[in-house]
Amino acid sequence: MTPATPPAPATGLVIGGERVLVPGLVIQNWFDDPTFRLRMPGTGKPADATPRRGKPRGIAMHSTHGTPGGHDQRPQRVRPGMGPAGGAAEANVHYWYGADGQAATQLIVDFDGQVICTADLLLTCAFHIGGPNDTTNHHTIGIELVQGLSGSPHVDENGHSTGPMTENDYAYFYADQIKTAVRLVDAIRQHREMLIQAMIQSPYHGNAHPVKRLQTETDWSGVILHRDQTSGRGPGDAGDCVLQAFLDAEYEPVDFAARTDVALWQPRQAALNALGETLKVDGNPGPATAAAIEKRHGKPHGMWVPRP
């Protein structure tokens, strides 16, 4: 997997005001290019004008088209290798920069593995995920994957069919683009200011059954897809292939709706307490749990599931 090498500087993620390089990934931010700086919906002000309420504990995955979803039901496919350098991520970020009312994420991953960081992951709230209030936005970091569409549009601007789908009509990512996204999530989770365990919402309950806990509660941590949190997005946001990539990377599947994350972690926390720790046995593994895992089991960064 060979990441992109853009001509401009690439000084990494921005976490708590610090620029963080991630080995093997090319990540640019607004210090490298001022036009990458996120602005807030309806104000035009820089994103740092909207500080977070508390530390992020979740990571939400998105796709730029959200296909299949809505009127466009073409299926998703994964093309092999890394995709071409076409500047799609930059174009998307520049659109966010100039559209005050546009939702946006803190990170976007292009076909060729280029990553753009638009806001401080620790300090800045981006409005990337819907719900009855801003709880999920303040609780999560948003990562967008550039998605391509092959074939001709089969719905018009009013959502009316322009003809049946053919085998040439599909949405796509690239395999190494998705692997880049997983490595990016690994790096964020294991940063000392995050320490988020490798868990992901699974199974997908369908468009009609969003996980309400993800909309209003902050007693969970891990990775979700946008579709898990709202009925306003289709199965392609971000899609089964993205979920499968995390499962293949041995992220633990948990159903936040059924609180299986709590059932998984309460015994682990209790076992750590039996070794001399004094953790709150609440099933929500925060930084204190990670510190105990590192101390008692010697696992790097306190991650139960080891990742690079």
Among residues 88, 80, 148, the alpha carbon closest in space to that of 116 is found at 88
* Residue 141 is assigned to a structural domain of this protein: yes
User: What is the rounded CA–CA span in Å between residue 93 and residue 37?
Assistant: 8
* Residue 1 is assigned to a structural domain of this protein: no
Let me know whether 109 and 211 are in one domain. Answer: yes
Let me know whether 162 and 124 are in one domain. Answer: yes
* Residue 76 is assigned to a structural domain of this protein: yes
DSSP 99-113: -TT----SEEE-TTS
Let me know whether 143 and 192 are in one domain. Answer: yes
Let me know whether 251 and 268 are in one domain. Answer: no
Among 233, 258, 283, residue at a domain's last position: 258
* Residue 157 is assigned to a structural domain of this protein: yes
Let me know whether 284 and 212 are in one domain. Answer: no
Q: For residue 58, what is the domain's CATH number?
A: 3.40.80.10
Per-residue pLDDT for 127 more than 80?
A: yes
Q: How confident is the model at residue 71 (pLDDT cuts 50, 70, 90)?
A: confident
pLDDT digits (tens, 9 = 90+) for 44-55: 666 666 788 889
Q: What is the pTM of this model?
A: 0.92
Per-residue pLDDT for 6 more than 60?
A: no
- Which residues constitute the domain of residue 115? 13-258
* Residue 2 is assigned to a structural domain of this protein: no
Let me know whether 252 and 265 are in one domain. Answer: no
pLDDT at 38: 86
Let me know whether 286 and 232 are in one domain. Answer: no
Let me know whether 186 and 286 are in one domain. Answer: no
Residues belonging to the chain:
308
Q: What is the mean pLDDT of the chain?
A: 90
